[in-house]
Amino acid sequence: MAVFTEIGKFVGAKVAGTLITIAMLAGGWWCYQNWDTVKAFGVVVKLILIWIVLVAALPWSSFFFMKPLLGFQSNLNSEQSAAAVSIGVIGVYCVIDIVLAFWLGDWGDKSGFSWFVLLLGIVAAGAYNFVICESLARQADR
């Protein structure tokens, strides 16, 4: 039985290698024939990466004004007012993220899947903004 197992592994590896090679060659040929589509896809990937980098860097700017903001919040009369200030800062970051996404996407999109990905990205950016701002507030409070 061990001989058949080894033969099966050998033949399976050769078949898998051949199929992968054929798929790579076919994909390369398709890219060669449809170069404009490949370039357009590259532009989309570049814009998405730019958006991700800018969204990732934006909430870290809170580092520069977190201590004065915490001082302002401690002077407020109610906890609700202090929470509103925190939500406002995170909301401003989210609005900037949304405007940036639409600006990079030429202010609109046509397909339902693109809208779904855009919505998912905005929700993820909002959660990221919250986590980073709260982390910076804890660090500044020390």
Distance CA 20, CA 27 (A): 10
Distance between CA atoms of 124 and 129, rounded to whole angstroms? 9
Q: What is the pLDDT of residue 64?
A: 78
Looking at residue 7, its pLDDT comes to 83
Written as one letter, the residue type at 33 is: Q
Handedness of CA 14, 17, 19, 22 (dihedral sign): negative
**What's the mean per-residue pLDDT of the chain?**
83
C-beta atoms surrounding 136 within 10 Å:
21
Q: Which CA distances in Å does 37 have to 41, 49, 61, 81, 140?
A: 6, 18, 37, 51, 48
CA 119/CA 124 separation, integer angstroms: 9
For residue range 23-52, list pLDDT tens digits in order.
999 988 988 898 888 888 888 888 889 989
Q: Are 19 and 53 in contact (CB under 8 A)?
A: no
Global confidence as pTM? 0.65
Dihedral (CA of 27, 33, 37, 39) sign: positive
Per-residue pLDDT band for 141 (boundaries 50, 70, 90) equals low
CB 89 within 8 A of CB 59: no
The pLDDT tens digits for 59-95 are: 888 777 777 777 777 777 777 777 777 788 888 889 9
Q: What residues contact 102, with CB distance under 8 A and at least 6 apart?
A: 108
Reported as a single tens digit per residue, the pLDDT across 85-103 is 778 888 888 999 888 888 8
